[in-house]
Amino acid sequence: MANLGVMLDCSRDGVYTVEALKKYIRILAKMGYTSLQLYTEEVYEIPEEPYFGYLRGRYSEAELREIDAYAAEQGIELVPCIQTLAHLSGLTRWPEYAQCTDTGDILLAGSERTYALIEHMFAAIARCFTSRRVNIGMDEAHSVGLGKYLDEHGYRNRFDILKEHLARVGEIAKKYGFRPMMWSDMFFRLANHGKYDYRGAEFPPELAALVPENIDLIYWDYYAGEQEFYDGMLKAHKNFGRHIVFAGGAWSWVGFAPLNGLSVKNSKLALQACRENGVDDIFITSWKDDGSESSLFCNLPSLFACAEYARGNFDDKAIAQKFGKLFGIAYEDYMTLDLPNICLSGKDGVLNPCKYMLYSDPFFGFLDCTVAAGGGKKFAATAKKLEKCADNKEYGYIFRTLADLCRAVKIKYDLGVRTREAYAEGREAVAALLPDYKKAIKRIEKFYESFREQWDIECKENGFEHHDVRLGGLIRRLEHCRKMLSDYAEGRRAAIPSLEEKILPFPFADSPCGVETCFNTWSAEALIHQ
């Protein structure tokens, strides 16, 4: 294996402390990884750009140099992973950057202010990282050229916009001695109606010319469950005539709990395809979408398995045994961290009921169609299983956090359904339900304390304010709902109109209403009108 790395998301509220990253680096080295990419959208210091990472807990230059030096001591190449086109919502929120914003979180291609900013990015990372490899991002810029760019230049072929922007970024990278890599999805999306799929894609004849010679292409895929698809995508990437990097996924971005089982299953297929297609530059992503809710160390089984697959060891039983010897905890025990997501279905799918039912509003339960009979008991049983590992010296706090989450979800899971049922029965039934609201609040408060402890162990203080708002808001909402129910039960309120409105079926894009559902954006699951 020419290179085996991990990409760690440090930009979704959770900015990991230097000490936590040092521990993470030591673990990666023990597993046989050779590189670590720090995904930092705008959470690193740029002296010329004071609003860059402002109030976000950004890494100072001294911190980055310290991490870089420590990684080198452990045999790990620390690679900067930045954004030079999209995923910069933390930056574009500031009026200072209005002139170089196309639309949303996308930078304005062609703007000299944009390229001044990007040069400042490169100058900063050049001072902090010894590696001269860099991931420049450029993924998921779905609306590039359709905002301010459209106003200023009219509609242009977006392949041309991307090509010109890439050329400018490539020149800046070369000036600072960097060899960039970039996510490849935008080329496929522009060629295939927004789909990251080789099937049906219509690329321009001058395909190879779209990507500068000094830029490598990253094919990322965390979803495909068939080796045939990985094979097809890898072959399609080779048509660009550039060095190909593959990025798999250690699922840590669907709420508080990971999906190690799904990660391992898909990664095994992906890495087999990489071996057969001669791709030996690989890294595994650990994204932290929507607030870094999961622990930094929740994916150790996935990362360990991927390291073994990359070396040609596909014996899962042997992998599990090796994991237990290295970490002092059984592989099967560590995999129980998945259970808050999968305990209802027992399947390795893309689902996270422990998050969306935690935040589901008991009066406006548009997700209550997913409530399954006996679901609360399954969360209670899961809490007991997780608690068995809560005394582990190194990682017990992660199990404790998720056990407390499951205890909260146990009572919160069907609270909305039971509230409507009680309201339909009458005031006595509503009165009988009120203690469950108090119990739900107490259990959420207990989960909050455990989650805050986990955050303090791993992350800087910045970013947790979002969880203060989310969990604090949830508690306050339950208190408000309880007060309305109490007033109704005691005759001080004639009715609760929101409980009389019919709940319509929820139109899930990928699956029918049921237990196999993923709903991962707090603002969408907690708020009716955003």
pLDDT value for 370: 86
pLDDT value for 25: 98
| Closest CA relative to residue 38, chosen from 66, 57, 15, 4 | 15
- 26: its two tokens: 């030591």
User: Which three-class secondary structure state does DSSP give residue 13?
Assistant: coil
Amino acid at 342: I
| Closest CA relative to residue 49, chosen from 109, 122, 150, 111 | 122
pLDDT 10s digits, 233-281: 999 999 999 999 999 999 999 999 999 999 999 999 999 999 999 999 9
Q: Kindly list the structural domains of the chain, giving each domain's residue range(s) and its CATH number in brackets, ordered by start.
A: 3-327 (3.20.20.80), 335-526 (1.20.120.670)
Amino acid at 48: E
- Residue 176's Cβ-count burial label (10 Å; 0-12, 13-18, 19+) is middle
Percentages (nearest 5) of helix, strand, coil residues in the chain: 50, 10, 40
Mean pLDDT of all residues in the chain? 95
pLDDT value for 526: 86
User: Is residue 254 within 8 Å of 518, Cβ to Cβ?
Assistant: yes
Query: What are the CA-CA distances from residue 243 to residues 32, 363, 400, 432 (Å)?
Result: 23, 53, 44, 65
Would you say the C-alpha torsion 159, 184, 113, 178 has a positive or negative sign?
A: negative
DSSP 8-state class, residue 363: S
- What is the residue whose two structure tokens read 């639309």? 103
Please give the backbone phi and psi of residue 521, each rounded to the nearest 5 degrees, phi first: -110, 115
User: Is residue 463 within 8 Å of 292, Cβ to Cβ?
Assistant: yes
Query: What are the CA-CA distances from residue 92 to residues 45, 84, 241, 339 (Å)?
Result: 16, 12, 34, 37
User: Which three-class secondary structure state does DSSP give residue 223?
Assistant: coil
Identify the segments of the chain with pLDDT beneath 70: 1, 507-516, 530
pLDDT 10s digits, 202-226: 888 887 788 888 899 999 999 999 9
pLDDT value for 206: 81
Beta carbons within 8 Å of 194's beta carbon, 6+ residues apart: 142
Q: How far is CA 113 from the centre of its chain?
A: 30
pLDDT value for 372: 87
pLDDT value for 511: 55
Euclidean distance between CA atoms 410 and 512, whole angstroms: 23
Longest CA–CA separation in the chain, Å? 75
pTM: 0.96
Neighbours of 449 (CB within 10 A): 11
Euclidean distance between CA atoms 193 and 327, whole angstroms: 45
pLDDT value for 418: 98
User: Which three-class secondary structure state does DSSP give residue 81?
Assistant: strand
pLDDT value for 5: 98
pLDDT 10s digits, 483-527: 999 999 999 999 999 999 988 887 664 555 455 688 899 998 888
pLDDT value for 205: 84
Helix (H) or strand (E) holding 138: none
R_g of the chain computed on alpha carbons: 24
User: Is residue 310 within 8 Å of 473, Cβ to Cβ?
Assistant: no
